[in-house]
Amino acid sequence: MNGDSVLTMEQAHVFNLISDYVLGLLPASERLLVEQHAAGCGLCRQQLDSERALSRRLHDTLAALPAPHPLRLAQWQPTPPARRRPAVLHHVWHKGWVTIGLLVMIFAGTLYLRPLGDKHNTLWPAPGPYVIATATEQPTITATATKTANQIDPAETPTVAATPIAALPILTGSE
């Protein structure tokens, strides 16, 4: 800031501080500045005297009024609004809707999570049929079982009776 743009208390009027000064709302440092400025500025001193006179008249007028009677004060106070209790049916109706909503959510959840078969399962597709093969010691015997989506895996593989193989004579070089 340059020195030309700064206004000192002697150059600027303190009209905006005069009302606060008369009401005693200014801190001590600002009160001192207003008093010093008003001592040197006739326009601000006139405004300060006018505000002081208005404050005295207002104080004297209010002091001259009789105190209102307590019954008169009660008439001027607004009546508090009556509190309405909600109807009992409102609570029952509200609880009924909450219960219905919970039941619908439970029903929809069970439909969504319950497997409905291979074609209609909404959460997980049902696995297709697969084959369980069990090898035995003999290369010609194999037991198979087909499993569908609704069956549970067996704890053990199914046992199938072994098929006898016809004995073939062992060829030796002496025949």
**How confident is the model at residue 150, as a pLDDT?**
57
More confident residue, 73 or 151: 73
Distance CA 48, CA 41 (A): 11
pLDDT band at 116 (very low <50, low <70, confident <90, very high): low
Q: Which two tokens stand for residue 26?
A: 């200014």
Position 7 pLDDT exceeds 50: no
Q: Mean of the pLDDT values across residues 14-37?
A: 89
Q: Where are the domains of the chain?
A: 15-68
Residue 28 binned pLDDT confidence (cut-offs 50, 70, 90): very high
Amino acid 4: pLDDT: 41
* Collapsed DSSP state (helix, strand, coil) of residue 131: strand
Q: Model confidence at 157, in pLDDT bands (50, 70, 90)?
A: low
CB 36 within 8 A of CB 11: no
CA 90 to the chain's CA centroid: 26
- Tens digit of each residue's pLDDT (9 = 90 or more) over 51-104: 999 999 999 998 898 887 888 888 888 888 888 776 666 666 677 888 899 999
**Pick from 45-49, 51-55, 127-131, 149-153: least confident:** 149-153
Q: What is the pTM of this model?
A: 0.35
Q: Quickly list H helices, the chain.
A: 15-23, 28-40, 42-64, 70-76, 88-113
pLDDT of residue 55: 92
- Share the mean pLDDT of the chain: 73
Q: pLDDT (tens digit, 9 = 90+) per residue, 34-63?
A: 999 888 888 999 999 999 999 999 999 988
